[in-house]
Amino acid sequence: MAERATSPGATNRFARTPSGALVIGAIASVQLGASLATTLFARVGPAGTVLLRLLSAAIVVLALARPRLRGRSRSELLLVAAFGLVLAGMNLSFYEAIDRIPLGVAVAIEFVGPLAVALAGHRRRPDLAWVALAAAGIVALTRGGAHGLDAAGVAFALVAGGMWGAYILLNARVGRHFEGATGLTLALWAAALVVAPVGVASGGSELLEPQVLALGAAVGVLSSAIPYTLEVEALRRIAAPTFGVLMSLEPAVAALAGFVVLGQSLGARELLGIALVSVASVGAARAGPPAPLVV
């Protein structure tokens, strides 16, 4: 396993910040950004919004990180390319989901990814109880409305969940092989290139409107630049399963953001489902000592 790489600047910047605070800060930032992103869907669509998000985040992080490609091995470049593909897929599928279903519900369903990462660190049969609890939460969510949830929205949220799990594991590896935000910067540019064709097709000339560009930049900073940077630093200090546990707050924060920013109210059944998924993720990590993860 490669030694964790950190730059002096990154170390000084976050030296006194607890790992938990870094993750919570990332959660709050990304959910506020997701709420803001939905306001762009009518003009540029989910794909166009993702393109603006990734490009603006890549520009911001590039200015801060100034990555160097010289001296990088082929395996390291392939690693950031894979990370970029995961970032593109995770963002596209998630934005397609929240275009169809409430933000809090989408995040709770998407949370199967981090939950799987947390459970992968354990090897005991009682852990199946947490899987069952999470499954009950998903059932409560998908059957909560009078007319049910949009099936495509649920499917996109599940795909985003799988991508989120891969993101956690790849993010940990990138943090060990690249100093500071270098790996993140390269991955963001790779993701933006992947999304560019569908983003341009979706948004068209609206992507160049000043108001759209300004909102897209804000979404990029809140949803990508800030949280990804904080998460990379957090994953240098804590194991991937522990990170998965801290992320258990994500569905609740998403529901709160959806209610406050977008006016998306949730019924008792949806709130119960979100609570069950969150409790399952915490229980999965606290059930016993994690087995080492090969990442």
Average pLDDT, the chain: 78
Q: State the burial class of residue 275 (Cβ atoms within 10 Å of its Cβ: 0-12, 13-18, 19+).
A: middle
Average pLDDT of the segment spanning 128-149: 68
Q: In the prediction, which pLDDT does 200 show?
A: 95
Would you say residue 8 has pLDDT above 70? no
Model-level pTM? 0.77
Percent helix / strand / coil, the chain, rounded to 5 = 80, 0, 20
What's the pLDDT tens digit per position in 182-222?
Answer: 777 888 899 999 999 999 999 999 999 999 999 999 998 88
Q: What is the pLDDT of residue 76?
A: 79
Residues 82 and 170 sit within 8 Å (Cβ to Cβ): yes
pLDDT at 146: 42
Q: At what angle do helices 41-65 and 182-203 cross, to 10 degrees?
A: 160
DSSP 105-156: HHHHHHTHHHHHHHHHT---TTHHHHHHHHHHHHHHHHT-SSS---HHHHHH
pLDDT, residue 123, reads 58
Whether the per-residue pLDDT at 33 is higher than 70: the answer is: yes
pLDDT score for 122:
58
Angle formed by the axes of helices 103-110 and 112-120, nearest 10°: 30
CB 219 within 8 A of CB 33: yes
pLDDT bucket at 281, cuts 50 / 70 / 90: low
- Please check the confidence at residue 272 and state whether its pLDDT lies above 70: yes
Report pLDDT for 28.
86
Q: Is 99 helix (H, G, I), strand (E, B) or coil?
A: coil
- Report whether pLDDT(230) > 80: yes
| DSSP secondary structure string for all residues of 186-237 | HHHHHHHHHHHHHHHHHHGGGGG-HHHHHHHHHHHIIIIIHHHHHHHHHHHH
The pLDDT of residue 124 is 62
Residue 179 DSSP label = S
Average pLDDT over residues 52-79: 80
pLDDT > 70 fraction of the chain, expressed in percent and rounded: 78
